[in-house]
Amino acid sequence: MSNKNTVPATIWEALRRLLNCNKQQLAARLGVSRQTLMVWEKETARGEPISDSARLRAADLLNATLRAAGNADDLLRPRIGGNQ
């Protein structure tokens, strides 16, 4: 894992830092094999767009993580009017 004082290079690194897990654990949380995560990491590192499947799984995991933190619905729900 890289230095926590640097900006994560990829979404996968950001998720590992947020969830304080290794690559195997992140793959399990995403519901994919370690090999699938490796493919996604390599594609991302090459600057290729994130696949729809990878995007959906990352978004679902991030949303679930935020919801588990409490009061996250305030962040995930768009605001209409009010203080922004």
Rounded to two decimals, what is the model's pTM? 0.78
Residue 82 CB burial class (10 angstroms; 0-12, 13-18, ≥19): exposed
What pLDDT score was predicted for residue 67?
A: 84
What is each CA distance from 14 to 35, 43, 58, 81, in whole angstroms?
19, 16, 10, 31
pLDDT tens readout for residues 6-54: 999 899 999 999 999 999 999 999 999 999 999 999 999 999 999 999 9
Confidence of residue 66 (pLDDT cuts 50, 70, 90): confident
Q: What angle do CA 21, 48, 15 make, to 5 degrees?
A: 15
What pLDDT score was predicted for residue 77?
A: 74
